[in-house]
């Protein structure tokens, strides 16, 4: 009687069954591969833009008048390192805070149908906290231009 399998095939199958299976690492996930490819493409596009600009861009040095700062039709005077009142920084910080408020409301609007009561209460609490901060800013006089 002829054997249909090679001699030792059963032993090889047994070894494969007994060998520990390799667990794929988290870096072999297709999502990570796609993310890596996206970053690679973005880096390539940025590097290509710099190389093309260096090769095709103007080679001559611009005149000194073109390198001077010019704002609102008035030639600049004085040093750029002069002091600014703290008031400008406070207004800028307020703008950033209230601008980020809209970014925090976007997920609430997107998922509002999932749990309307819960998300409405969260939105009201968030607005109350911002209102308290706004009243504090008004009382401190940050928005008063003197």
Task: Report yes or no on 14 lying in a domain.
Answer: no
Task: Report yes or no on 146 lying in a domain.
Answer: no
The pLDDT assigned to 24 comes to 62
Task: Report yes or no on 92 lying in a domain.
Answer: yes
**What CATH number should be reported for the domain holding residue 44?**
1.20.58
Per-residue pLDDT reduced to its tens digit, 88-117:
888 888 888 888 888 888 888 888 888 888
Residue 5 confidence (pLDDT) above 60: no
Task: Report yes or no on 8 lying in a domain.
Answer: no
Task: Report yes or no on 145 lying in a domain.
Answer: no
CA atoms 62, 66, 69, 72: torsion sign: negative
- Going by their DSSP bridges, the two strands 74-75 and 70-71 should be labelled as antiparallel
pTM: 0.42
Task: Report yes or no on 93 lying in a domain.
Answer: yes
The pLDDT assigned to 18 comes to 67
Q: Which residues contact 18 (CB under 8 A, 6 or more apart)?
A: none
Task: Report yes or no on 56 lying in a domain.
Answer: yes
Per-residue pLDDT reduced to its tens digit, 15-70:
666 666 666 666 667 778 888 999 999 999 999 999 999 999 888 888 877 777 77
Task: Report yes or no on 3 lying in a domain.
Answer: no
Domain span holding position 65? 25-140
Beta bridge partners of 70: 75
Q: State the total domains in the chain.
A: 1
Cα–Cα distances (Å) from 139 to 65, 86, 93, in that order, read: 46, 17, 16
């Amino acid at each position: 009687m002829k054997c249909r399998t090679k001699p030792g095939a059963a032993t090889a199958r047994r070894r494969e069954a007994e060998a520990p299976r390799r667990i794929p690492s988290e870096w072999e996930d297709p999502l990570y591969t796609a993310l890596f490819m996206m970053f690679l493409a973005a880096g390539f596009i940025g590097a290509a833009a710099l190389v093309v600009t260096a090769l095709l861009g103007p080679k001559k040095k611009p005149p000194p008048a073109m390198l001077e700062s010019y704002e609102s039709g008035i030639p600049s005077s004085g040093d750029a390192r002069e002091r600014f009142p703290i008031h400008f920084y406070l207004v800028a910080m307020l703008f950033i805070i209230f601008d980020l408020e809209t970014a925090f409301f976007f997920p609430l609007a997107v998922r509002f149908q999932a749990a309307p009561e819960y998300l409405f209460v969260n939105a009201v609490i968030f607005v109350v906290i911002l209102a308290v901060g706004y009243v504090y800013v008004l009382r401190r006089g940050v928005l008063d231009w003197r």
